[in-house]
Structure 1
Amino acid sequence: MRIAVVGFEKDVAALRRISEHLSAEVVLYTDGVWSTLVSYDCIVAYMPSGIVVRGMCPHLRSKWTDAAVVVVDKPMRYAIPILGGHHGANDVAHMLEGLGMTPVITTAMEYEEGLSIGVGCRRGIGAQEVLDALLSALAELDASPKDIRVIATAQLKKDEKGLIEAADTLKKPLMFASAEELNSISVPSGSRANIVGLNSVAEACSLLYSKHGELLLPKRVYGGVTVAISR
């Protein structure tokens, strides 16, 4: 993840401390800085949140492509994700715990119970096929979309429009897991994902983002979509 730490020149010591901890780049604030910052994956702003909001607003296009943003308060007590919580900001806020900061997480997923849906699919899958597969898998547990807490897939599917559209239709967060995260999860079934260096996608994703680590539905294949469900 490419991270920028932005702030005023008078605060350069604090900016360097944060950037060294995150292996990030320091960017000093100027009037036109936001057009440069949007090319980063995550922006850590050591400045008032109002300046950040006003600066970023003209550059926001989509939650799937916008840079994640974390604001750090002046005493460096709190790390507050304000954009892209599920797209890197929450993770960076937790990383800042290493500097003694408390992450202020406001996204609902972290506090809700419900089902964690892991999904794998063939390239170019359509949204309707994904939705049909999810509904079929949920039906096996006598569950419905309202029971979903999160949908998750592998990082290499980050640009898969069918998955993104399906998650948007269901109004559920879509998480993307790294290869390292997925390969750290022990799963009961083998997977064709090993051809791209992954031990598993659907089952590993569902377990990774579950709250209790219980695999309720081992992977099922519905046409070009693979689904597993955990809680």
Structure 2
Amino acid sequence: MSTDNDDAGAHCSTPDSDGEVAEEIAIVSFGRKMDTAEEIVDGIGDRYASIDVLEYHGEVFAEHWGEYDCFVGLMASGIAMRKTAPLLDDKWDDPAVVVVDEELTWAIPLTGGHHGANQVARDLASMGAVPAMTTASEAAGKQGVEERAKALDTHVVNGDSTVATNLAVLDDDLGPVARLDGPKAVLAADDVTVLKRNEADGVVLGTGSVSGAKKEQFLDAWESVLDDTDYGVDDVEFVATGTRKEDEDGLLEAADELGVGVVAFEKDTLEEFEGPTPSRSKELIGWPGISEASAIAGGRDHELLVEKERYDDAVTVAVGR
């Protein structure tokens, strides 16, 4: 059984060499569990470029190793572990493996948590499964380097560095992702993680809002501002905002629905890239206008494509590139 989605949904984005995003999924199921496998396809299949169902036999993982970004084993974790362990070589190249039980109670990433397994487990949570994350940063409720890379629509160039930088995340010592615009030559140590953008030509949605703005208000605002450009939702690299707005539920829910990350810039960064439109927030609380400044800061060329526009008296949006 195979499903191909030309217009893959929420979590689908441009593949990168490090396999951080799972797009091509295989559900490996015993014959007696095929109804559950088909239920999973119906429930989350539109979030991926393709999703296949493979009937289990002893060599099924070995036969298809390297063909998929992630295997979802509809089976006991012990079976999946025994059959995939001899195939593992390098975490940056190996497919992710998740197991889920027939009742969709638990979704357990076994390998490749930061390279697609956690993502698939979260998607299975929308069907009622509890995602059992054991990667250190997720267990501590913190955003690891690979998760930051996905939020920025980038990929990790030097994978070995993430051991040190994720330890810094756990110790709250990493700080924000630094941006370096070239051309420049850089001498970097082994504990410096380098991120590279996935898209050659995308845009950033700089966004501010009143407190408590709803998901639908953000979605409508983003759609409206993009209608006036040559870009669409698929061209959005990420949503940018300020740290004082990073916990807005409506913004986070809207970004999740579009399958894009949210990047929150510190006040000093926004001041460096302040936009041209006067903002009352600077008079009242000393912050520059978030939408324009974050759009400029996040854009690859620090260019403001669309100045801020206000929607529904709740959300302001600017477009950067």
TM-score range, shorter chain: 0.5 to 0.7
Tell me which amino acid in the other structure corresponds to 2:133.
C
Q: TM-score, normalised by structure 1?
A: 0.61
Note closer, same or farther for the CA distance 1:111–1:132 as it changes in structure 2 (3 Å cut). closer
Find the partner of 2:133 among 57, 64, 68.
57
Find the partner of 1:120 among 201, 208, 219.
208
Note closer, same or farther for the CA distance 1:131–1:109 as it changes in structure 2 (3 Å cut). farther
1:68 CA drift (Å): 3.1
Unaligned runs of 5+ in 2: 1-109, 114-131, 147-158, 181-185
Q: Which has the higher helix share?
A: 1
1:132 corresponds to: 220
Percent of pairs with identical residues: 25
Per-residue CA deviation, residues 52-104 of structure 1 (Å, 9 max, x unaligned), is: x7xx93477979x8213469xxxxx95215698xxx67728x9xx99723634
- Say which SS state the counterpart of residue 307 (structure 2) adopts: strand
Note closer, same or farther for the CA distance 1:216–1:69 as it changes in structure 2 (3 Å cut). closer
- Rounded to whole Å, the distance in 1 between the matches of 2:176 and 2:226 is 28
Note closer, same or farther for the CA distance 1:161–1:218 as it changes in structure 2 (3 Å cut). same
Per-residue CA deviation, residues 137-181 of structure 1 (Å, 9 max, x unaligned), is: 000114210111111111011210000001000101110011111
- Rounded to whole Å, the distance in 1 between the matches of 2:252 and 2:286 is 23
Moved over 2 A (4+): 56-63, 68-71, 81-84, 88-92, 97-106, 108-113
- Rounded to whole Å, the distance in 1 between the matches of 2:286 and 2:198 is 29
1:191 corresponds to: 279
5 Å matches for 1:9-158?
57-58=133-134, 66-69=141-144, 79-80=161-162, 91=177, 100-101=189-190, 103-105=192-194, 109=197, 112-158=200-246
- Rounded to whole Å, the distance in 1 between the matches of 2:251 and 2:187 is 34
Per-residue CA deviation, residues 2-31 of structure 1 (Å, 9 max, x unaligned), is: xxxxxxxxxxxxxxxxxxxxxxxxxxxxxx
Unaligned runs of 5+ in 1: 1-49, 72-76
- Rounded to whole Å, the distance in 2 between the matches of 1:152 and 1:166 is 13
1:14 corresponds to: none
CA-based RMSD: 4.0
- Rounded to whole Å, the distance in 2 between the matches of 1:210 and 1:187 is 13
- Rounded to whole Å, the distance in 2 between the matches of 1:99 and 1:133 is 40
- Rounded to whole Å, the distance in 2 between the matches of 1:229 and 1:167 is 15
- Say which SS state the counterpart of residue 133 (structure 2) adopts: helix
- Rounded to whole Å, the distance in 1 between the matches of 2:231 and 2:188 is 42
- Rounded to whole Å, the distance in 2 between the matches of 1:163 and 1:143 is 20
- Say which SS state the counterpart of residue 207 (structure 2) adopts: strand
